[in-house]
């Protein structure tokens, strides 16, 4: 299901590494603690999960920060495409930091107090809603997001990846929808989104019910990822190249396409067509459409204002 490499967007021209060390940090994102945000190409932001010593496992503070990073990216007119990857060689992320969660009571919903089941349920509902909302910020981000995965990618890794627009991975990636093995149904988005992302429900139920590992090749063959590359560096470089290509296009066209595709997922065709009429009745009044048409007719390269 992977496009032949010849039809992939070309990698950035520099043959030197596009990975972490060479990238310019974006100053307005310097205050975040668990994530670095740099700019490897014009209008491209590269977000890296920065907790490699813990296999990039997520604590509660991290997922709250994750939501804030993507809310900021969504409104940042200097960003037109985003790449997400995990720092370090071993893991994209090992998922929830279960030990930390067990210690600080995140998992129990009772804040340490003895309360009845109805009251504890209210606490748990609120916690799950907040957690879902933080991770979902990546899906709500109005710029396209490319998720570049490698190594250990378990549990929350899948919830996160399902919120991206395009998923690519390194050939050494080890995926699993791990939640059943810690005694719960995945509740941060995998069960809601995965069946709408890939074609085979039999496969989705297999991996979600058994919690078994699946490989990069299997992920490619079922359509969960659309490219597999050798090693993390090549994967991130391909993601950055793809993001750079998107960032050169009209942001009105790109962000509109993301919005309309996300709308299509949850609506019937007639409903989406009506919403599209309304959307384009204003989008076509922007400067990008005539500028792009002119470029096509004159075979020139267009530039577009910020959005």
Interaction with its own copies in 128-147: which residues (CB under 8 A)? 128-129, 132, 136, 144
Q: CB of residue 106 vs its own copies: minimum separation in angstroms?
A: 11
Torsion of CA 171, 216, 177, 97, to 10 degrees: 10
Contact in structure between 194 and 163 (CB atoms under 8 Å): no
CA distance 63 to 17: 29
Residue 52 or 223: the one with the smaller Cβ distance to its own copies is: 223
Mask: binding to its own copies, 229-268, rule CB under 8 A, as x and -? -------------x--xx--xx-xxx-xxxxxx--xxxxx
Residue 33 or 122: the one with the smaller Cβ distance to its own copies is: 122
Sign of the four-CA dihedral 131, 134, 140, 144: negative
Q: Which of residues 148-207 bind its own copies (CB under 8 A)?
A: 165-167, 179-187, 189, 191-193, 195-206
Q: CB of residue 269 vs its own copies: minimum separation in angstroms?
A: 5
Out of 270, 298, 299, 301, which residue is the one contacting its own copies (CB under 8 A)? 270
Give burial (CB, 10 Å; 0-12/13-18/19+) of 217: middle
Out of 42, 89, 273, 303, which residue is the one contacting its own copies (CB under 8 A)? 273
Residue 55 is a binding residue for its own copies (CB under 8 A): no
Residue 64 or 292: the one with the smaller Cβ distance to its own copies is: 292
Q: Which of residues 79-138 bind its own copies (CB under 8 A)?
A: 98-99, 102, 107, 109, 115-122, 124-126, 128-129, 132, 136
Residue 61 or 185: the one with the smaller Cβ distance to its own copies is: 185
Q: CB of residue 169 vs its own copies: minimum separation in angstroms?
A: 10
Residue 36 or 135: the one with the smaller Cβ distance to its own copies is: 135
Residue 33 or 196: the one with the smaller Cβ distance to its own copies is: 196
Q: CB of residue 25 vs its own copies: minimum separation in angstroms?
A: 26
Residue 12 is a binding residue for its own copies (CB under 8 A): no
Q: CB of residue 177 vs its own copies: minimum separation in angstroms?
A: 9
Residue 64 is a binding residue for its own copies (CB under 8 A): no
Out of 33, 105, 284, 303, which residue is the one contacting its own copies (CB under 8 A)? 284
Give burial (CB, 10 Å; 0-12/13-18/19+) of 239: buried
Residue 31 or 117: the one with the smaller Cβ distance to its own copies is: 117
Residue 61 is a binding residue for its own copies (CB under 8 A): no
Residue 21 or 116: the one with the smaller Cβ distance to its own copies is: 116
């Amino acid at each position: 299901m992977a496009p032949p490499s010849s039809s992939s967007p070309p990698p950035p021209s520099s043959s030197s590494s596009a990975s972490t060390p060479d990238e310019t940090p974006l100053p307005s994102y310097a205050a975040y603690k668990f994530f670095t945000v740099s700019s490897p190409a014009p209008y491209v932001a590269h977000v890296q999960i920065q907790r490699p010593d813990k296999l990039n496992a997520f604590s509660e503070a991290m997922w709250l920060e994750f939501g804030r990073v993507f809310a900021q990216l969504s409104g940042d007119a200097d960003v037109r495409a985003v790449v997400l990857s995990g720092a370090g060689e071993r893991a994209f992320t090992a998922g929830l930091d279960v030990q930390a969660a067990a210690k600080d009571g995140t998992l129990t919903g009772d804040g340490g107090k003895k309360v009845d089941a109805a009251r504890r349920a209210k606490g748990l509902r609120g916690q799950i809603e907040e957690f879902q909302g933080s991770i979902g910020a990546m899906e709500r981000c109005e710029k396209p997001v490319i998720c570049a995965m490698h190594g250990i990618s378990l549990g929350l890794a899948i919830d996160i990846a399902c919120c991206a627009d395009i998923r690519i991975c390194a050939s050494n990636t080890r995926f699993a929808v791990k939640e059943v093995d810690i005694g719960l149904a995945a509740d941060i988005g995998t069960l809601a989104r995965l069946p709408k992302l890939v074609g085979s429900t039999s496969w989705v139920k297999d991996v979600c019910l058994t919690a078994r590992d699946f490989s990069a090749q299997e992920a490619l063959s079922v359509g969960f990822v659309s490219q597999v590359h050798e090693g993390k560096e090549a994967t991130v470089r391909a993601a950055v190249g793809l993001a750079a290509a998107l960032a050169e296009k009209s942001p009105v066209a790109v962000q509109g396409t993301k919005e309309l595709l996300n709308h299509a997922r949850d609506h019937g065709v007639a409903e989406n067509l009506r919403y599209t009429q309304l959307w384009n009745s204003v989008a076509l009044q922007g400067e990008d459409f005539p500028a792009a048409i002119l470029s096509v007719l004159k075979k020139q390269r267009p530039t577009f204002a910020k959005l």
